[in-house]
Structure 1
């Protein structure tokens, strides 16, 4: 579901991610909308959580905030009145969020902490390893599993006892397709980059040694650890980038430009100033090329990472190099060691939840739920259920009994929920395509019954989180409102503002005096670090010399003395020298930092009102705000609102304390 967030929605929506730990034990009705009560505890909790998030000081004023809050609840009431809560997209989004939120409540804290400790310890090192893979299905029969294991041991003996080269044997025997090219070498990796079983094998194998067969969901691996190095931590760099030429452009254009820039840096010109002027990475150029710090594997270009991590205080500048995105020059700023465990806590929790490690957490939860929801099975019914199974189950051809009447009794109870024999048969039917290789079928049934019982406990526990955890219920209620509000705003405001071209044009015409261009200049801007040279450039420009003539005169193959860039610049922008004015065709030399500038004005574009197309983004945003305010005024007429002012005064006093 695509969502657009207005400033008001953000205020309320952000609150949903924070647990409601400040609920009061007592609450009063603060206001009603069509006799639906809204209470003081929720208002106080939301206000306090959002107090530091809002930028508009008026929203911190309690009178203003109450008005905003009532407006928010009016929209929610309107959404329910329109039946938006029945939409499939809304239901799916709500279900997805609940799934994510519930994970916090379905963890074993001790097991999670142990996995965090282990993962963090492993993050201290990066391992270079090779492997040989022999594929075997997770649910393979014991015989097939044993055969794969024995084959892996035979290959290991060739390497360990026979002295054969691991890479050559990997190329010959590994069922990992990439082994034909890389001879099994996986490069450097650290914790959370490989499946957990493989990671365990790699971190427990000494350098130069070959592991015993390691079982993962892909099969058996033989792992050889080639090298271990310390984690490189994070690095801060700046870069100047020239984008890869578009199709049809001269492929040497970018390389030539980056080499010119590199030459100017070598001549002592400022890296940061050149980045501001010439880097085509607009997200970093205004900051002198500064990038956010990063660690190994965080960028999409390994080439860029390796070039960056090769730099140091002693060797702070890279030569120009190419990536898939263009050409770069990188400057070293600072290196940072691996963050502390506390600083990485949230990140580690997320990685564990997405990793095979999470099975340990679910296994620990299963043990707790067996204690929380003790179960007594109807063994007589269970025996009848087992009798329905036969060897066709292993082939995926087993059929449930045509008449399920006698199997519909209660097999066991979880909390207040009865689970029938028919439920278990349905479960068995879904499992046979990946049937475990346990024989006879009675043993197979016991295996699946234990799994089924654990799943039923987990499902019941999940379904009752709102009853067991009041803060979970509060967050879900707020999220439900937030989702409805987004759907409503899309329907009533955002979509209308995009399609109502007549209304948008009328709004623009009524307020176009505030959408204005300052004076703009179509100009060529010349720069150099040499003031005397720029005086000569100024003289040539006043005589009508072309930009190319100036570059040919002052630049050589070995030295780049003058740079030129051109375009249309609005008065006041940083790229435009300060001494530009409408009545001067060629400016005098001006200075900014280490650089000297001369500007030739090709055309002066007078100040004037922007066309609708030139300012459509801003006009559309302000039109949305206009529509929203009018709409809220209409909602106040549609619904009956009653505020308990005495209660509100007590709320003010409580918050002030």
Structure 2
């Protein structure tokens, strides 16, 4: 996540606009390496509306940032980080991912979008049985797995219970508990072949045997229903006790029942969530969760309760999940949108999904028409003669007299020459595919056409930078961004984590930045009734315990008082309004529809935090300190020359 965030920042600094200024001059050099005006203008114009800091819109300041960025890239190259295997592999991975956006066929894509949308409108519930076998398994292992699945299907066809067979024989570990039941799902929730089998199988029927990258499956469709869409809810959660016991469990249940009683009494759900929900990620937002659909949560209980609510504002009774106790309030139901609204999102999902292979395969046909392909028929005939019946048994070997196959078998666009030996190597690898095409010549022809298609797509991929200038720009961004990340990690981030003496010295010189505010060890009582708050105040003055106060004020099934205890800084919640001066019971204050009073047990004066207490922020600040000083040192290490005359021209051009 840190790398992703960093690369997004780099793109923000180095993004390009695809309309180029053809006239360019050298704006500055770093050790005689020129950087041109066109790149700087592209970057500045692209980011003008993206940056929030107005200082970065100032051209002089932006040039300083841009030079600093390029200095770091030059430093990375000087250290040879571009030669690191991890870097080259990661860059290759980014390129492969980016290239998917260019390997496209609109007709196939639109058909897949229509199919995906139709499936999105419906949810399928299915159970499955899996026999594991990897994609690259030996033919004998693949056959063994297939026959095992075939035997299981025969047992079910003969009348055995599907769920019982799944529980006993399925190699999906979860089947021992769920008997193969996968619940409801929609498009993109399963791998594409599995999804297709589920949608193409009628309710109550069992699919044919099919294969995914995990192995062989059969599935039974138990239900199909209209997609419930997505739902937005708020919730209050009390976590299960960290050390379970009947007493602790009872206390949590009593607490959630008390909260629910206060809701029934008319108290505000969102305020109660802020005060008492133990889901820290949502409590401050009144318990608001991001909207979700079927199968997106890890708790089926929570999901079912959320979707059972039908009216806005409807609130569930307390219920238990594997995480704890919840109360849920419906904010909004979101049905499946029209195709026009989600077409772009569906297309992006398709590009990341197994079905994208259908698109890339269709591309090969277009490339055959696009490129000039010369083929060596004589050499192909020699290769055919070299392939024997051993291929079907998976024991055919690469010919020993390999040199005779080193001539060019195909030439693409006169600049990509591929030897016959490459095709022979490919043939040898395809034995694992258990291909049964006969006669042998037909098998070789079939594999040859597939291999040529592969070579065309490889050639197309390799030349994306020449075919699409914008692809080249984005690759340059990632190339420099990854280098810069590795450099920052090496020179700044790791140093800040491991340089304990430097960190301590920085802490000592900035200790005033790491102070605890005044803190209070308090019990904060809240109620919607002023009378109950006054009684709680009276009991606090008498030194009564929390348990005593709750016992006296929460009677006859009505929760009149709730309490939150802990050590809090002075600006926490209502503490500022309480204006605490001494220990003991405070005055009563009203905030919204609630009355608050606190019992102050101790007042802790402002004190410096220890290094451990502020380690996260301290390390972050130290990293920033190192980086700020680092650019200054880089300017001393490298010879930077800025052509101010050219820069004035740039300013004039941008300001037009």
Q: Does TM, normalized by the shorter one, top 0.5?
A: yes
Mark the CA change 1:289 to 1:181 in structure 2 (over 3 Å): closer, same or farther. closer
**What CA deviation, in whole Å up to 9, does each residue of 1:548-588 have, x standing for no partner?**
21112112362222111211111122253612322352112
Gaps of 5+ in 2: none
The answer to whether the Cα contact below 8 Å between 2:582 and 2:600 also exists between their aligned partners in 1 is no
Aligned to 1:238: 234
**What CA deviation, in whole Å up to 9, does each residue of 1:386-425 have, x standing for no partner?**
2222222222211112221111111111231111111111
Structure 2 CA distance, aligned partners of 1:487 and 1:567?
A: 42
- Aligned residue for 1:32, secondary structure, equals strand
Aligned to 2:393: 395
Aligned to 1:376: 374
Aligned to 2:430: 431
Aligned to 1:308: 306
- Aligned residue for 1:613, secondary structure, equals coil
Aligned to 1:127: 124
Mark the CA change 1:440 to 1:136 in structure 2 (over 3 Å): closer, same or farther. farther
- Aligned residue for 1:564, secondary structure, equals strand
Structure 2 CA distance, aligned partners of 1:3 and 1:137?
A: 31
Q: Give the C-alpha shift of residue 527 in structure 1.
A: 1.3
**What CA deviation, in whole Å up to 9, does each residue of 1:15-44 have, x standing for no partner?**
66x664232232222111112111122112
Structure 2 CA distance, aligned partners of 1:505 and 1:79?
A: 28
Mark the CA change 1:137 to 1:568 in structure 2 (over 3 Å): closer, same or farther. closer
Mark the CA change 1:547 to 1:135 in structure 2 (over 3 Å): closer, same or farther. closer
Q: Give the C-alpha shift of residue 136 in structure 1.
A: 11
Structure 2 CA distance, aligned partners of 1:287 and 1:180?
A: 39
The answer to whether the Cα contact below 8 Å between 2:578 and 2:597 also exists between their aligned partners in 1 is no
Is 1:52 equivalent to 2:49 in the alignment? yes
Structure 2 CA distance, aligned partners of 1:609 and 1:132?
A: 60
Aligned to 2:614: 615
Aligned to 1:277: 275
TM-score, with structure 2 as normaliser: 0.89
The farther-off stretch of 618-627 and 522-531 is 618-627
Q: Give the C-alpha shift of residue 228 in structure 1.
A: 3.2
Mark the CA change 1:628 to 1:186 in structure 2 (over 3 Å): closer, same or farther. closer
The partner residue of 2:83 within 83, 86, 106 is 86
Mark the CA change 1:212 to 1:338 in structure 2 (over 3 Å): closer, same or farther. closer
Is 1:558 equivalent to 2:557 in the alignment? yes
Structure 2 CA distance, aligned partners of 1:483 and 1:222?
A: 44
The partner residue of 1:319 within 317, 320, 331 is 317
Aligned to 2:485: 486
The answer to whether the Cα contact below 8 Å between 1:394 and 1:435 also exists between their aligned partners in 2 is yes
The partner residue of 2:23 within 23, 26, 40 is 26
Aligned to 2:403: 405
Aligned to 1:254: 252
Mark the CA change 1:168 to 1:279 in structure 2 (over 3 Å): closer, same or farther. closer
Q: Give the C-alpha shift of residue 273 in structure 1.
A: 1.1
Aligned to 1:13: 11
Mark the CA change 1:622 to 1:193 in structure 2 (over 3 Å): closer, same or farther. closer
Structure 1 CA distance, aligned partners of 2:476 and 2:227?
A: 43
The answer to whether the Cα contact below 8 Å between 1:4 and 1:486 also exists between their aligned partners in 2 is no
**What CA deviation, in whole Å up to 9, does each residue of 1:251-286 have, x standing for no partner?**
333323222211221222221111111111111101
The answer to whether the Cα contact below 8 Å between 1:198 and 1:214 also exists between their aligned partners in 2 is no
Structure 2 CA distance, aligned partners of 1:87 and 1:314?
A: 56
| 1:109-508 matches, cutoff 5 A | 109-129=106-126, 186-204=182-200, 210=205, 213=208, 215-217=210-212, 226-247=222-243, 250-313=248-311, 316-415=314-413, 416-508=415-507
Mark the CA change 1:605 to 1:211 in structure 2 (over 3 Å): closer, same or farther. closer
What RMSD in Å do the two structures reach over aligned CA positions?
A: 3.4
Aligned to 1:74: 71
Mark the CA change 1:181 to 1:622 in structure 2 (over 3 Å): closer, same or farther. closer
The answer to whether the Cα contact below 8 Å between 1:15 and 1:49 also exists between their aligned partners in 2 is no
**What CA deviation, in whole Å up to 9, does each residue of 1:51-110 have, x standing for no partner?**
233222211111111100000001111111111111111111111100101111111122
